[in-house]
Amino acid sequence: MKKFVVGLVSVLTLGLGAQSFAGDQDYLDWAGVKDAQKVTKGNGVTVALLNTGVNYHLPEFRNRIAKDSEGNYGYDAITGGNDPMDMLEYGLGTQVSSIVAGNQFGIAPEAKIVPVRVFDENGGGTLESLAKGVVYAVSRNVNIIEIGGGPLNLEKAATLCAAMKLAEEKGILLVVPAGNDGSEIREYPSGCGLSSTLVVAGVDSRGDLTRYSSFGFPAVHIAAPAENIWRISRDGSTQKDGQGTSFSAAFATATAALVMAAHPEYSAGDVKTAMIRGAMEKDSLRGRVLSNGYLNAAAAIAADISRPE
């Protein structure tokens, strides 16, 4: 059983009040979020987040979690239970969830989330726990599945590959981070042959690839903000410092929710195409990601997906 660990490059806690946020979220401008939110905030879209779970008691997630028919908050693929409480000290799953659809910091604050715990209190998980998480998410009829963690080599992971293919067959968009080891990815997820998976690299505040983000043309599709994203941790503290493609994948996941809400007629492949075609091209990203640029939510919503590739 292959085991791996999910993590951030760094996380610091800042005891800052909401009044400090004004003028300090410039990524909402250059990534097109503010303009996109004038069109939609993600209503009607449900996102499964496969990570360390979420602290669902926090005000950040009030009315943001799509409970199951029995009133459960989600699923714990580590224990097989139905309690996805985030037990990791710095609460990566909680942080990611607040970026996607939190009441205060969510990019798509009207989307619903389904927390799925696939990494334990030490940040460790297995390909099997991920596969169970994907299958559960499919059973909940979600629109998007974000799979946390680093790059996935699926050549020897038939169960996870099958689960991801099942999600694709059900019309679900899969979003995965490119990873934080700065390597070039030639095929990803390796050996699985998926078409509705969006692989996301990380950029800094200038829109340039971060020093740690993995990349690869055409295996990595787009880049998104990966640094200094406002969010909430497991203990309810406000976070800003910290970096990693887990954040860029969360940003892209939320953007996909905005595109889906604005275009409910779109398939998962259409959403992926719109996000790629709406990217802001940048020389430093040319040849490193398929889109040659970084994500722009408003441009993705407005992108013409009718023209042939």
Give the per-residue pLDDT at 12. Answer: 32
148-167 pLDDT, tens digit each? 876 666 666 888 999 999 99
What are 239's strand-pairing partners? 13, 231
Encode pLDDT of 108-118 as tens digits: 999 999 999 99
- CA 72 remoteness from chain centre: 22
- pLDDT tens for each residue of 254-303: 999 999 999 999 999 999 999 999 999 999 999 999 999 999 999 999 99
C-alpha–C-alpha distance, residues 102 and 42, integer Å: 12
Residue extents of the structural domains in the chain: 12-302
Contact between 100 and 108 under an 8 Å Cβ cutoff? The reply is yes
CA distances from 234 to 86, 96, 98, 258, 290 (A): 7, 10, 10, 25, 34
pLDDT value at residue 20: 43
Longest CA–CA separation in the chain, Å? 51
Lowest-confidence region among 12-16, 139-143, 195-199, 204-208: 12-16
pLDDT digits 0-9 by tens, 225-267: 999 999 999 999 998 888 999 999 999 999 999 999 999 999 9
Pick the CATH number of 12-302 from 1.10.10.10, 3.40.50.200, 3.40.1010.10, 1.10.3720.10: 3.40.50.200
Q: What is the pLDDT of residues 48-57, one digit of tens each?
A: 999 999 999 9
Q: Is 39 exposed, middle or buried (0-12, 13-18, 19+ CB in 10 A)?
A: middle
